[in-house]
Structure 1
Amino acid sequence: MLARSRRRATALLVSAAMVGSAFLLTAAAQPSDGNGWQVGQPRLTTPWTDQVSPSNALPEYPRPQLARARWQNLNGVWQFAGASAGEAPPVGEDLAESILVPYPIESALSGIERHEDHMWYRRTFEVPASWQVGDGQRLRLHFGAVDHAATVWVNGAEVAEHSGGYTAFSVDVTDALAPSGPQEIVVGVEDRTDATWQPVGKQRNVPDRGIFYTGSSGIWQTVWMEPVPDRAYVADLDTATDVDTDTLALTVDSGGNASGLTVQAVVMDGDVQVATAEGAPGRPLDVQVPDAHLWSPDDPFLYGLEVTLRDGDQEVDRVGSYVGMREIGTVRGADGRLRITLNHEVLFLMSTLDQGFWPDGIYTAPTDEALRFDVAAAKRLGFNAIRKHIKVEPARWYHHADTLGMLVWQDMPSMRTGGIPPPDAQAEFERQLHEVVDQHDSWTSVIGWIPFNEGWGEWSREATGRIADSVAVQDPTRLVNAHSGVNCCASHGDSGRGDVIDWHAYTGPADPTPDDHRVAVDGEHGGFGLEVPGHMWFEDGHGYQMAQDGDELTRLYVENQRELIPIAQQRGISGAVYTQITDIEHEVNGFLTYDRRVEKMHVDQVRAVNDAVVRNANRPAVAPTTTDPGTTVPAGVHASGEGHDQAR
């Protein structure tokens, strides 16, 4: 058995409002805030488009896994200008345009609605006097994500550089602050998208009316700041849950000088304290959680976790967090084949593909309610898992998955397709992959990593195997799917590494079989399409097989999903991924239209067949066949060609 229950966390349980089930069809508002910003003209609006304003640009606390009481959101209207390579930062200079942060510049919500390879952002802020920065406190500036390479200046002093459009970064800016009054931030960004080998996922400078979409450049996640104690502060929490012994292993990493300080950890069930432990910063603490309540999609229970740094009886720093007690692993079933387990019980992972694009915000959901909506929609449709496809989301998306109870396969955003990346791009891809894993290995919902998809950006079979091994070493608590769609497209073939054999087939489903050390999954299938006039990005759209109306679309889906049951029983697959949760640009194969206003299938029938698959997939069947998984491309698999989609 492969038991994977160790997890890393820095967390606070933050409740979110439930998403309403009905929305009024409204046109996008056209407000101006007096600072020059005005929303653009999206081709489609969502039910949340007109809720966005300079005073309401993603105001929620952005880091729900390590929360402090004092913080300030820096989203809102910033100054903006396009730039050229090599320009000096515009310190102290007004910029000509206004942008609403954190929406990418190509989006209507940003107010810019165009791409720039190079760009400047500028704003001023004031540090609350009550924070006492410079008098026992220091100021940290945080960026959720900036695509792709960012340099930050505060009051003309360069304070940070970061490369990678999918990971967060922060910096102590205390020494750059003026004694009082307005403080200036300037951010320079370079994002050439698919003109380089940087990881881009599905972004393209020129969308192709196929499977590649509009790019998202610049600041696209929340910018914020917080004070931390000058002496020492909680920087990170590393937790490991053992569901067999009801043990939480916790290591508190600190910033500053924590010498002589003590860590106190308290595990909470609501308002009830269930366990405590004390120890030293940087050293493991074992916390016994009696009769641990396990997390699962059916029961997504999360323990609260309060962590303090103390100097004797004096509190130095306090953060709130949470932890979900769960295991992910594999076990041999009655037929001798490896299958995926959750909390030591075999569970078929019924997933939908979720690419996280929005017609008004592109990479950035218009509101937190909208961000939660897609996860809740997948849950309502009867899925217990999501494949987060070639994109990494803001922290709050994973928090919603944790609280709603959705398992998550996490892709690494790929480099562009076509050709072999040069050695420096290969090294940078690996660096960013490991940074993504490091920053997302705390989420209870995330149960597996997918470094490569269909050979996009892959340079050799041997490298793929080595990278899968390195991810497994970095995070031994989750499954590693070395190569989703290894049978397909630009794949260099099966490295034999990782924990998963993954095939794609459209319309499928795919039917790989486990080997002696890897489970098998259908990594993509389905993709039935339906055009819904008035709710499409273009005047027309495509799917892998088109339907004439919602009744036919539902019938095609139900028949296709039913095929998973004998495949699971006879071939031994442990999960499947249906494409996809929403339409995106020219792709009209979603359960929902791109604007999230129309449900295209009959939800009750979708949920019923999904429930039937999960319930029956692991029941005994006829003796297994002995087909070699191989790496050949069966008919109907996903096409790899840049600029078009050759799927049937």
Structure 2
Amino acid sequence: MFQSIQIPRPEYPRPERQRGRVEGIDWLNLNGPWEFRFDYKRIGIEREWYVPRRDSWEDQIIVPFCWESLAAWGAGDGAGNDHYYSTRCFVNAYEVTHENHRTAERYEVGWYRREIAVPTDGPWKDRQVILTIGAADFFTDGWCNGLPLGRHDGGYDPFEFDLTEALGAPGPDGMRRGLLVLRIEDPMDHADQPVGKQWGWYTTTSGIWQTVFVEPRSITHIDSFRIVPDIDQRLAAIEIACRHAGEASRVTVQIIPPAAPAFRLETSVVADQATIIAGINPVALWEPGDPQLYQIEFQLFDPSGKLLDEVRGYFGMRKISTAPAEDAPAILCLNNQPIYLRGALYQSYFPEGVYTAPSAGVLRDDIKYALAAGFDFLRVHIKLDDPLLLYYADTLGIMLMQDFPNFGEGGDTPLGRRRFEAMLKAGIKRDFNHPSIVAWCIFNETWGFGGQSELMKLITPRLPATGAPGRSEAIDHTPSFRWIHEVWLLAKELDPTRLIEDMSVVMWEHLPAYGHVETDINSWHFYINDYPKARDHITKVVGSTYHGSPFNYIEGYTQRNVPLISSEYGGCGALDPDQDISWSFKFLTNELRRHGQISAYIFTQLMDVEWEHNGMLNYDRTPKSFGYHPSLINRGDVLPIDSAPISLQREGDTIEVEVLSSHFSRRRRPQVSLHWRYSGMDTLAKFYPDLARGSEEIEFRHHHVGLARLLKLDLPQEPMLCSLAVSAVTPDGEVIASNFIQHLVSNGPPREREERKNLLILRRKVSDWKSALWSNGHSDRAEANRDSKCCGGGAGRFEWEFHDEAFRSLGRAARLTFLIEASSAREGIRQTATLRHPSRLDISINGRLLSSALLPDHPHDTRGALSFLKGGNGAYGYLHRVTLEHDLLDEVASTVESTGRISIETAVVHSPTGGLVVYDYDSGRFPVAPTLIIHWPNS
């Protein structure tokens, strides 16, 4: 941070409502180092810390990062997946651990101080000087040169202080100077504040967390504007709110379409309000993948024609709505066309800055990754986010559901409700013009109404008492529901242009009395990591959702014509360990896409956050490996398969597989053909690319889920791991959808001794080792039998012995091959990622070292399909093939012919010593057990 002259977050913080153009000329960015001190005993006001003095404050903080963050103290470069908060903010820093840092006593009051110098010429001449703070949590008092500026309560909305009168007279250099002092208080007992996941879930956010800046402004100015697009009437209704404008003032609006000439409109200001109805022709629609934006410029003139204020922004011509459907209560529509929203939960937390991204580029890259993974929709989870995130959503083209932050448990009080409503009003006002926001979610599950109480006992060892009711207490939630409905009505009044959800509902909730009241979206949550259970669950929800159904609603309310969405789903929940999610993402998304009654899904989640490890990216934004591209099953057009992702089948059987089409891309696709290929790998790692294949034209009905083809497959007559790959292909060869499933075709373990033509094949179960010795221990035989793999930790060796009379003739063999699937070993079941855990594997035959290879990792992802079939977590290894021929074979044969024994030793004794896992035929990635093959010469 201090090695660069660049200040953090240097960009103008709100491009959708922008006055300043050039920093240092017509606006000043105050991010960067400020003097700082904590006020543990709350003595600062009494001792007048706001009064200018020549004293030195003991600390320096980096704005705009909260004081719990590493970036606030210049330590952001050291942040990472396991290092994401600073101990500087805690009263007893040495007692703080990962387990208690969310509840350990922290400082509640911080004071900020810095000098500013403001020009008096150019854009600043005869103007007010306005200080704006994007967001600070929670109570903010301000002074300039010892004079009070005001107070603000709230943690998410921007606020301003007028510095004009408090600044000093111009100096010889023409600059007016001032000493800014801010006192910010954020109590640990913040239950009745809107806090979102700060309430004991993730690291708290205290103090300034969005950009602080100063800009000049006329006393008469544009306060805000609101643009309501109407694509049906080809209009945009523009409402401009002014301050201190006389009755003869006027506003001009210049609109610059994305691909048409600019045009200008003008209207008078009446009672500080101006309204313009702008005809838009032609209409360029804002859509994901093609986010057409209209630039807009506002100018406010006094009666004499003098320009007083100028503000720039943008808007999109976009409509979100619902419509009746054939087989569902309603479907979602974007710009009057049905759409299937493919979403991910986005927490918007960062290892360096907690609530604040270290750079705008990180926000941009988060959205770019989401788009590349096939998502067109993000649910910004219980946080009113950085306006720069919304800007990139607008300009890159991704839709958002914006959650409002809940109060904490025990916060459902008159004060908590007033603060929540104030935050809701401020949030809708600030973000109304963002075309990317298509929905508001008012409440998440039952957070703040008792739903967190039981969970927090598991998450935090010492949760401050709040008076929240426990699970076992009988309480009447009727008053809460009345208020929830009132807030929903308020939100509908404030923003009739978007879909508004009352409460994002989880049916297995800790408080089962909760459900929907009146809502524009019927949502539900589920976390299931078992294919049959997930299939049954989704089918039950879909079958229970119809017009008039009471399912998922509280007593007295029923399903109206609103769309059904899964607003949270996954195979790995918050409290689960760090494990593979690639498998569950694929089969759960496949199951959701089989049902045309569902209009959207939101996967949990885009990236890991702190102790929660169910993201598609790690917390530090490094990628995880899936074994397939996530967009395979996560795009507008997909081919859902009504089948488990892998299943056990009998050799020689004939089976049927139902392949469906789900065609919801914006572009209609006629004349689509289904191509299928059935391939396999046998127990000797031989690949058969064309066990079956074919193609035929299918019905690919737009905005519909239907049967594409019922495939009949003749399974191989021998053990194999088989894969069915299907693709939807256009006449010009473009692949627009694809999918795959796998089968383990086997009637049981392959024979330990098998003769084929000129081959003698000998196999060993991994549990049948002759000897095992490992520095950090190893599997016992019962574990190895159960899991079909043996594991050794650290350095050591496994040895298998093969016996056969044919070995006495080994000198006549043409070749000898040893096959094994092996990986390094490590604790845990973390999904494959860029962080590797290597091990050096040596393979010896009868004491002769024949192979040395680096095992890069102990991977876990979809490629470990056989491990999933056994109920594991996708662990797999790398296929190793050791071949002996010519002189080397003669050398080994001389040691074998007298004993009739071959000893295979797999050893990890040279650095890196990351252990060893060896897989049997029915675990890992390949259907291969430790196998010895003797190739006899062809007769």
Alignment partner of 1:463 out of 454, 464, 483: 483
Residue 124 (1) aligns with residue 115 (2): yes
- 2:71 and 2:284 mapped to 1: Cα distance? 42
Could you say what secondary structure the match of 1:283 adopts? strand
Greater shift in the superposed pair: 212-221 or 266-275: 266-275
* CA–CA separation in structure 2 for the residues paired with 1:545 and 1:82: 36
Aligned with 2:14 (options 59, 63, 85) = 63
Which residue is equivalent to 1:248? 236
- Indicate if the aligned counterparts of 2:372 and 2:631 stay in contact, CA closer than 8 A: no
Tell me the secondary structure at the aligned position of residue 17 of structure 2. coil
Report if aligned partners of 1:527, 1:578 keep a CA contact under 8 Å in 2: no
Provide the identity percentage.
30
In the alignment, which of 576, 579, 587 is matched to residue 559 of structure 1? Answer: 587
Q: Provide the alpha-carbon RMSD of the alignment.
A: 2.4
1:175 to 152, 165, 168: 165
Return the alpha-carbon distance in structure 2 between the equivalents of residues 490 and 122 of structure 1.
46
One of 523, 548, 551 as aligned partner of 1:502: 523
Report the Cα offset of residue 391 of structure 1: 1.1
Structure with the bigger percentage of strand: 2
Deviations 1:550-601 (A, max 9, x none): xxx433321111001223x1xx221111000111111111111111123343
Report what 1:46 is aligned to: none
Distance 1:261 1:200, change over 3 A: same
Contact persistence 2:169–2:177 (CA under 8 A): no
Q: 1:273 to 1:606 in 2, by over 3 A?
A: closer
Matched letter for residue 612 of structure 1: D
SS in 2 for 1:277: strand
Aligned to 2:353: 361
- TM-score if structure 2 supplies the norm length? 0.56
1:336/1:219 Cα in 2 relative to 1: closer, same or farther (>3 Å)?
closer
Equivalent residue, structure 1, for 2:738: none
The answer to whether the 8 Å contact 1:526/1:544 transfers is no
Unaligned runs of at least 5 residues, structure 1: 1-30, 34-52, 530-540, 548-552, 623-647
1:451 equivalent to 2:442? Answer: yes
- 1:563 maps to a residue whose letter is E
State the partner residue of 1:589: 614
Under a length normalisation based on structure 1, what TM-score does the superposition of the two structures give?
0.80
**Helix, strand or coil at the partner of 1:158:** strand
Shift of 1:32: 4.2
Contact 1:465 1:495 (C-alpha < 8 Å) held by counterparts: no
Q: Name the structure 2 match of 1:101.
A: 63
CA contact (8 A) 1:352 1:387 kept: yes
Residues in 1 aligned to 2:215 and 2:253: alpha-carbon distance in whole angstroms: 22
- Other structure's SS at 2:584 match: helix
Aligned 8 A contact 2:195 2:406 in 1 = yes
2:754 corresponding residue in structure 1: none
Q: CA deviation at 1:56?
A: 2.6
- Contact 1:275–1:289 (8 Å) recurs in 2: no
The one-letter code sitting in structure 2 at the alignment partner of 1:192 is: P
Change (3 A) 1:605 1:62: closer
**Deviation of 1:92 (Å):** 1.6
- Selected match of 1:234 from 219, 222, 236: 222
In 1, distance between residues paired with 2:582 and 2:448?
35
- Matched residue SS, 2:635: helix
Counterparts in 2 of 1:545 and 1:121: CA distance versus 1, 3 Å:
closer
Matches within 5 A, 1:176-191: 176-180=166-170, 181-191=176-186
The amino acid across from 1:104 in the alignment is C
Counterpart in 2 of 1:633?
none
Task: Please tell me whether the aligned partners of residues 320 and 333 of structure 2 are also in contact (alpha carbons under 8 angstroms).
Answer: yes
Say which one has the larger Rg.
2
Q: Structure 1 residues 608-617 or 89-98, which shifts more?
A: 608-617
Q: Is the 8 A contact 1:148 1:218 kept in 2?
A: yes
SS in 2 for 1:560: helix
Residue number in structure 1 paired with 2:320? 328
Cα distance per residue 1:397-431 (max 9 Å; x no partner): 100000011111111111123x4632222222222
Please list, as runs of the form range in 1=range in 2, the aligned pairs for 1:132-281 lying within 5 A after superposition: 133=124, 135-180=125-170, 181-204=176-199, 212-230=201-219, 232-270=220-258, 273-281=261-269
In structure 2, what is the equivalent of residue 23 of structure 1? Answer: none
Structure 1 residues 225 and 577, CA gap change in structure 2 (3 angstroms): same
**In the aligned structure 1, how far is the partner of 2:135 from the partner of 2:317?**
29
Residue 525 (str. 1) matches residue 569 (str. 2): yes
Task: Please give the secondary structure, in 1, of the residue aligned with 2:585.
Answer: helix
Q: Secondary structure at the match of 2:392?
A: helix
Report the counterpart of residue 394 of structure 1 in structure 2: 386
TM-fit CA distance, 1:461:
1.7
2:28 aligned residue: 72
> Aligned match of 2:601 in 563, 573, 576?
576
- Give the direction of change, closer, same or farther, for the CA distance of 1:603–1:396 in structure 2 (3 Å limit): farther
Say if 1:481 and 1:498, in contact at 8 Å, map to a contact too: yes
- Counterparts of 1:109 and 1:341 in 2: how far apart (Å)? 42
- Residues 167 and 177, structure 2, Cα contact 8 Å, conserved in 1: no
| CA spacing shift, 1:264–1:582, aligned 2, 3 Å | same
**Aligned pairs for 1:9-88 within 5 A:** 32=2, 53=4, 55-68=6-19, 69=21, 70-83=26-39, 84-85=41-42, 87-88=44-45
How many Å separate the matches in 2 of 1:247 and 1:119?
A: 48
Partner Cα separation in structure 2 for residue 274 and residue 317 of structure 1? 20
Superimposed CA distance per residue, residues 452-499 of structure 1 (whole angstroms, 9 cap, x where no aligned partner): 111111362222112111111111111111000253234642342121
Distance 1:95 1:561 in 2: 54
- Match for residue 663 of structure 2? 616
Establish whether residue 546 from structure 1 lines up as the match of residue 566 from structure 2: no
* Contact 2:258–2:284 (Cα < 8 Å) also in 1: no
| Whole-angstrom distance in 2 between the partners of 1:182 and 1:274 | 41
3-state secondary structure, aligned to 1:396: helix
Q: CA deviation at 1:358?
A: 0.8
Q: CA deviation at 1:86?
A: 5.7
Corresponding residue SS for 1:214: coil
1:303 aligns with 2:260: no
Asked if the contact 2:438–2:498 (Cα under 8 Å) also holds between the matched residues in 1, the reply is yes
Whether the aligned pair in 2 keeps the contact of 1:461 and 1:492 (CA below 8 Å) is no
Report the Cα distance in structure 2 between the residues aligned to 1:603 and 1:368, rounded to whole angstroms: 29
8 A contact 1:308–1:315 mirrored in 2: yes
Give the distance between the partners of 2:381 and 2:147, measured in 1 at CA: 38
What amino acid sits opposite 2:363 in the alignment? L
**What is the CA distance between 1:228 and its match in structure 2?**
1.1
3-state SS of 1:260 partner: coil
* Aligned counterparts of 1:217 and 1:131: Cα–Cα separation in 2: 37
Return the offset for 1:182.
2.5
**Contact persistence 2:506–2:526 (CA under 8 A):** no
Residues in 2 aligned to 1:290 and 1:485: alpha-carbon distance in whole angstroms: 41
Output the amino acid matched with 1:519. Answer: P
CA distance in 1, matches of 2:606, 2:246: 46
- In 1, Cα distance between the equivalents of 2:486 and 2:444? 16
Q: State whether residues 258 and 292 of structure 2, in contact with CA within 8 Å, keep that contact through their aligned partners in structure 1.
A: no
1:73-100 CA distances to partner (integer Å, 9 max, x unpaired)? 0001001111133631412243210000
Tell me, in whole angstroms, the C-alpha distance in 2 between the residues paired with 1:175 and 1:257: 21
Q: Secondary structure at the match of 1:322?
A: strand
Query: Any idea what the Cα deviations from partners look like across 1:262-311, whole Å, max 9, x if unmatched?
Result: 11111113585343211023131111111110101021010111111124
**CA-CA distance at 1:354 after TM superposition:** 0.3
